[in-house]
Amino acid sequence: MVNVNLLKGKIVEKGLNVSELAAMIGIDKATFYRKLGSGGENFTIKEADLIASNLALNRDEVNAIFFSQFVA
């Protein structure tokens, strides 16, 4: 499950909004908002990679956002 609050914080930190980031990764803003509302469970690997690239996230940030729950 995606850490949506941390992702939203990084979006703001980079001076963007959700609509701008959605356009940057090539999906409709409504789709992006829906994915955020569902806890980020529907982000594809490609979308997560594009988000990480466009936000210039380092490895630790990517892990904290996209791999926030560990499976034992």
pTM: 0.87
DSSP 69: S
Length, in residues, of the chain? 72
CA distance 53 to 34: 21
For residue 29, the SS3 value is helix
Domain boundaries, the chain: 4-66
Encode the chain (72 residues) as per-residue pLDDT tens digits.
789 999 999 999 999 999 999 999 999 999 999 998 876 678 899 999 999 999 999 999 999 998 876 555
What's the token pair of residue 48? 């997560």
From 3.40.50.170, 1.20.210.10, 1.10.260.40, 1.10.1040.10, which CATH number describes the 4-66 domain?
A: 1.10.260.40
- Cβ contacts of 37 within 8 Å, gap of 6 or more: none
Place of tokens 């996230």: 57
